[in-house]
Structure 1
Amino acid sequence: MTLTSYADGTPHDITLDGEMLAVRSRQGGSRSLWKLAAGGADAALQWVDGSAASTPHLLAALEAAFEHRPAHKSLAVAAPALAEELTHTGVLLASPDGGVRAFRDMLWQQPRLWLPTVHAPMAQRHALTNGKVHPLRTPKPRGVLYQRFIPWLGKTFSFRSIDFERDLGIFNRWMNDPDVAKIWDEEGDLDKHRAYLSGIDCDPHMYSMIASFDGEPFAYFEMYWAKESRIAPFYDVQDYDRGWHVLVGEPSFRGKACATAWLTSISHYIFLCDPRTQRAVGEPRIDHVQQIRNLDKSGYAKVKEFDLPHKRAQLVMMLRERYFIDSLWLPRGDAPAATHAKPV
């Protein structure tokens, strides 16, 4: 099976043949070989001397190794020239035997594998907005924000910042879909939806995104800082809690296989953006049964029901620790199958 990794924003194709992993960059064509030895605690990834060795290649090889060996929580790594750089970020940790190991939960906290552009966390300084004290927020990101190859679909899932000229028409069509309108209650004309998106663009605490599979748009996401949001009064909100909204506009992408991909990935993106974010939250309508079921299967805990002006909501929450320790970027339970279910 061939997988794709986006280490340092560059696509790398990784193929497993027996015990050999071959990594090839699509930009420049450099190729490295790695031996993947499985054996419980003795599982190891070893660079084959003489092949191209680089940090992105090792990151791509590690991502693929854990995908191919999902039962392994760690791997011994033999790539001496690269070890020093990667121990400073936690990709590799020194082991008692004098070598280094990669741990799956720490690898998945490395933004350079999934974010095309990585920024250091903004220095903390507090501000006051509408009577709410909160940290200053980073400028809104633009362009492609996240990309991840989904093994069970064989497709790349990604999302990017919204482009008004490019995306207004499709956003308008999605909002006027009867199944979407029943949940969002935002049907209307282009002017209404232009004003809706403009309002979010002017709000420094929210931003809009378009999600795609292999470049085909299928969904709209909103990301927000919880402390400045409408749900802040309803729980013990922390400075870096983040929440999200979603609508899946294309009926052919509604179903379990796609939902497990985008839902686990948006949680991942929240935790990659800022290491100070310890909780991802949501507030779906209490009667949106399918969405709540998807959240439950993806590891979100149901905290409580509460009333917002426009809906009765279910507060749900994901802890950073649980996401990474329990490998919640993978589907829970049985393997997903492509279905055409009700909108999620």
Structure 2
Amino acid sequence: MAVRPASAQEDAPLVRDWLNAEHAKNFWRLHTDRDGEGAYSVAVVREYLRAFAENRGESAWIGELDGAPASYWETYEVASSPLAGEPELSDRDRGIHVLIGSTRYVGRGLGPRLLAAMAAWQFAEYPVAARVVAEPDVRNERAVRAFQRAGFRQARTVDLERKRAALMIHDRRPPTQEPQDP
């Protein structure tokens, strides 16, 4: 997988299609309501992506497989998120959201590999982070299982503004130590 920053201008139509897809629309909610037909417009998604570009603690990404857009990612600082202050988390921890958007890749078992790769990338980019966390909707059992298969553990359920979420935590693994001669 390769990731690139999401472009509000260029990627809004693609992300809009993914957010409105049957497999995603019940679990992904932006910070605004859908229109009267239950969909997000390109304009709403473009504004949402623009806001991400302006927020230093958050980033939006497009994940590509074999050069084709396949997923939408958000990375964030726990300190500036609704998870700030949760007892098992530190302000230095990192969070991720994922949407495997292209139906071509849904249900093929790619989720755990992509999630593990994104967690590893966050640990590499943010060496002070002890954990990478996520908070998928508890009703999205497929997502919870994918996080578990990627090395996340479900700590508990948390009530957030727009959903009841499974708090998923991936702990940084300490480097293995070489045996020392006595």
CA RMSD of aligned residues (A): 1.6
* Equivalent residue in structure 2 for 1:209, among 61, 66, 79: 61
Question: 2:75 maps to what in 1?
Answer: 223
1:199 corresponds to which letter in structure 2? A
> Out of 256, 279, 286, which is 2:131 matched to?
279
Structure 2 gap segments, 5+ residues each: 31-38, 177-182
Deviation at 1:185, TM superposition (A): 3.4
Q: How does 1:181-196 map to 2 (within 5 A)?
A: 181-186=25-30, 187-196=39-48
Q: Distance in 1 between matches of 2:108 and 2:16?
A: 25
Q: After the TM superposition, list the runs of 4 or more consecutive aligned residues in structure 1 that deviate by more than 6 angstroms.
A: none
Local SS of the residue matching 1:185: coil
Higher strand share: 1
Query: Letter of the aligned partner of 1:210 in structure 2?
Result: I
Shift of 1:205: 0.7
One-letter amino acid of the counterpart of residue 173, structure 2:
E
Size of the aligned set, in residue pairs, is 168
Aligned to 2:3: 159
Q: Deviations over 1:56-87 (max 9, x none)?
A: xxxxxxxxxxxxxxxxxxxxxxxxxxxxxxxx
The Cα of 1:299 is off from its aligned counterpart by 1.5
Whether the 8 Å CA contact 2:7–2:49 is kept in 1: the answer is no
Q: Give the conservation status (yes or no) of the 8 Å contact 2:9–2:46.
A: no
Find the counterpart in structure 1 of residue 90 from structure 2: 238
Partners of 1:286 and 1:195 lie apart in 2 by 27
Give the % identical residues: 25
Matched, 1:297 2:138: no
Tell me if the contact between 1:227 and 1:237 (Cα under 8 Å) persists in the aligned partners: no
* Gapped regions of structure 1 (runs ≥ 5): 1-156, 326-344
From 12, 22, 25, the counterpart of 1:178: 22
The code of the aligned residue for 1:270 comes to Q
Q: TM-score, normalised by structure 2?
A: 0.86
Q: How far, CA to CA, are the matches of 2:85 and 2:129 in structure 1? A: 19
State the structure with bigger RCO (CA 8 A, min sep 6), 1 or 2. 2
Q: 2:166 aligns with which of 314, 320, 324?
A: 314
Measured after TM superposition, the shift of residue 256 of structure 1 is: 4.3
How far residue 172 of structure 1 moved from its aligned partner, in angstroms, is: 1.4
1:266 to 94, 113, 118: 118
